Amino acid sequence: MHLAQLNIAEAIETMEHPMMSSFMENVDRINELAEKSPGFVWRLSNEEESNTPVFNSTIIAVNLSIWKDRESLFQFVYASNHVEILKRKSEWFKKTPKLHMVLWYIEEGHIPSIKEASERLLYLQEHGESPFAFSFKSSF
């Protein structure tokens, strides 16, 4: 089994807006950091993301990735240089009252679609944590 994760964020402005430049300048570096992190398996590429209409908005940032396990993802998110960007998210993204990240287990070799991932997030928002969809607060 592997761990899939989706997180979304609604940008304050379009990605081309000068306000978003410091975020955009760090995207490739953070993606490269993820790809070199222990336990990383796969991520949705920027090219795939830009061609995928999701969440009824043109200013939603989408991150979909697969990790060997929960610990590997946790280490990348909270114990690598990724945390410096995480601390600055309010500069670029709106605060959302809904959950914006979801985790779920998948069979090795399965690549989840944006549709599958968004269904997991919606389930978590509507029903709470379960083995079907959960957050770092739970370890199913």
75-122 pLDDT, tens per residue?
Answer: 999 999 999 999 999 999 999 888 889 999 999 999 999 999 999 999
Mean pLDDT for the stretch of residues 6-18: 91
CATH of domain 2-127: 3.30.70.100
pLDDT given for residue 51 in this prediction: 47
**Contact indicator for 19, 92 with CB cutoff of 8 Å:** yes
pLDDT in tens, 32-85: 999 999 999 999 986 555 445 455 555 788 999 999 999 999 999 999 999 999
d(CA 129, CA 97): 16
Hey, what are 76's tokens? 């990348």
- List phi, psi (to 5°) of 17: -65, 140
Greatest CA separation for the chain: 41
Share of the chain above pLDDT 70, in %: 91
Q: Is the pLDDT of residue 1 over 50?
A: yes
What residues does each domain of the chain span? 2-127
**What is the pTM for the complete model shown?**
0.88
